[in-house]
Structure 1
């Protein structure tokens, strides 16, 4: 029996056996986005990323996600996520190398497959790709003609990437409009590509479900209760498309810092988190054509921080953080991508990794 309002399959016997703090089907990963501190060099930021990736690989995490960002201090140390993944391929053994996301509207499908097939080979078949359509207008200097139809274009290009990944040929126009039948080389190790559809909208969840894609999302302006409605839409869309409604991964980004001393957590997190929110908020306001004052920005930052800390992040003791994980699982999330590079002191993050690892082990029953 399936309860789509809850976004999960109902099994009374299983529910009786389910205990708080035990979510064996939940996957745990890291997401990297950006530390915007000017007091920390880019080299140090990359070194910190490496430290966390190697920890995740050894601690049995599922994946590491890298974004693609351009022309903004926020996120642009990850301007090319295929380069980041290629760097980590020989440094890791089991962690999956993912994107959140490749901006598919900025790149030719053949170019995407060529780059990532190389990473797939170098990693022994550990590549998964998430795709976004892009939103920052300035980014499209890389592809000026694809901005206006970027939403539809993403939907058109993902199946092309999948076809090319499988070794199929596609006809593309070249100079003078001449058509060429193209296969992408080298061929990747994996016969098929796991796809994540990066979205926050209900229509995006529905489309991803219909197409059989996984979903990568975040709690931007919503809480877990609101997310539950979208996960239900996703499961229903899968069923209506003739797919198993309970298959498919819904991955959720959550800012994270696990430590038993809540006052310490607040002292470590508040200032950098507010700076992170502010650096993220301004580009979105500009992209939306909104001119807001510094006072208005400050109010929005204060509100966002309070909401995130209390309802949308994983902060505090293992017991407090467990409640958030249990809540996420109950609304249909089956992977959490921990975000830790948002300006927190690196030594504090590394010092608390043992708490995070034990939290993950608790959920896996280890």
Structure 2
């Protein structure tokens, strides 16, 4: 089992400035680079306290790449529907060069109706735009004189510059929220996987991972070659009650910010997102105690957190890379740094030795 850092800025703008958040992100990234973590990653969101400080993950990840030397730099994820593939492939190829070939590219569909409205992109097209954008980027990275004729973009012949350092292209991840079918499609294609257990049930996530691993093997891809990132917020303290108190505060802050971001699902229906109109009801039923009980958040003493990760490994497999958010919401930097330090010294060795 490996571990990485996940940065998802979920906070009202008045609770912490963007400049302060970026500075703290870079400081934690430097520590993670020194302390043996596998990756750092961040999201793409717009216009709200739900991730809005990261409208361009490539920009923030470039700063992280310059602040580190060995840790992998991961998009978690970029949304092809919002960017022309020539621009997206070029930006990511630049980042692969600037990081010395440390880039992993996670692609996602997006799921917030307001973001699609702001970009003037119909949500019904999100799956097709995702598939087309990913394929265009893959070809631009790995081929020359590319002629591409898609439903949403056509270009060529063109040879992308710069060429990525990693050949034939940087490792590709697919972010999946709830769909076993999308996980199976990713496995068949030989792409890696990003999942978030907080938005699905244990049973559904087990089904998703089973579909992915089975499709990977059936397609003849190398055994042990699949990489699965699973994302959690993590609060560690020598006083377990203190860790859980902070966890309750900032997990409820996450729910508060998410509630605003998904409000438009109250009046939005899309065949491309079956069941998503129920998001608001699910969020209204949120209980921190239930989330902690179901191991959707990691909080407690180092020993308690290690026990929870062991259970996660039993449930979902010990081949995971656990992507941890140690800086949730507007939490004070010193609390985030201390949590990261305790995890590094007293939890991580239990799974990496």
**What TM-score do you get using the length of structure 2 for normalisation?**
0.87
User: Residues 20-62 of structure 1: CA distance to partner in whole angstroms, max 9, x if unpaired?
Assistant: xxxxxx1100111114142322211111111111111111100
Give the aligned partner of residue 67 of structure 2.
91
Distance 1:163 1:118 in 2: 16
1:32 aligns with 2:7: yes
CA contact (8 A) 2:263 2:280 kept: no
Change in Cα spacing, 1:207 to 1:258, as seen in structure 2 (3 Å) is same
Residues 262 and 243 from structure 1, CA distance in 2 versus in 1: closer, same or farther, beyond 3 angstroms?
Answer: same
Indicate the structure whose relative CO is greater, using CA pairs within 8 Å and at least 6 residues apart: 1
Which residue is equivalent to 1:74? Answer: 50
CA contact (8 A) 2:140 2:159 kept: yes
Encode CA deviations 1:124-156: one digit per residue, 9 max, x unaligned.
Answer: 111110001122233235643453211122123
Structure 2 residue aligned with 1:309: 292
1:339 aligned partner: 325
Cα deviation digits, residues 169-191 of structure 1 (max 9, x gap) = 322479xx996311211112111
Please give the per-residue CA displacement for 1:208-250, whole angstroms capped at 9, x wherever unaligned: 1111111101113434454222211111111222224543111
1:146/1:153 contact within 8 Å kept: no
Could you tell me how far 1:268 is from its partner in structure 2? 1.9
Q: Which residue of 1 aligns with 2:343?
A: 356
1:223, 1:312 within 8 Å by CA — same for their partners in 2?
no
| Structure number, greater radius of gyration | 1
Deviations 1:231-285 (A, max 9, x none): 1111111122222454311111011011231211122221222011121133224
Residue in 1 that maps onto 2:21? 45
Q: Which residue of 2 aligns with 1:324?
A: 308
Aligned residues: 334
Shift of 1:306: 2.0
Q: How does 1:181-200 map to 2 (within 5 A)?
A: 181-191=157-167, 192-200=169-177
In the TM superposition, residue 78 of structure 1 has moved relative to its aligned partner by: 0.6
In structure 1, the residue matched to 2:87 is 111
Aligned mate of 1:264, from 229, 242, 254: 242
Does the 8 Å contact 2:44/2:76 carry over to 1? yes
The secondary structure found in structure 1 opposite 2:198 is: coil
- Gaps in structure 2 of 5+ consecutive residues: 269-278
RMSD over aligned Cα, in angstroms? 2.6
Indicate the larger mover: 195-204 or 267-276: 267-276
The 5-angstrom pairing of residues 229-244 of structure 1 reads 229-244=207-222
Indicate the residue corresponding to 1:219 in structure 2.
197
* Segment drifting more, 229-238 vs 327-336: 327-336
- Closer/same/farther in 2, CA of residues 301 and 273 from structure 1, 3 Å limit: farther
State the alpha-carbon separation in 1 of the partners of residues 105 and 136 from structure 2.
13
Partner Cα distance (1:111, 1:102) in 2: 12
Give the 3-state SS of the residue equivalent to 1:93 in structure 2: coil
Assess if the C-alpha contact under 8 Å between 1:172 and 1:182 holds in 2: no
Aligned CA distance change for structure 1 residues 104 and 129 (closer, same or farther; 3 Å): same
Match of 1:205 in 2: 183
Assess, with a 3 A threshold, how the Cα gap between structure 1 residues 234 and 297 changes in structure 2: closer, same or farther.
closer
Q: Does structure 2 retain, via aligned residues, the 8 Å contact 1:33–1:67?
A: yes
Q: 1:169 aligns with which of 126, 145, 161?
A: 145
CA distance in structure 2 between the partners assigned to 1:83 and 1:73 by the alignment: 19
CA contact (8 A) 2:89 2:137 kept: yes
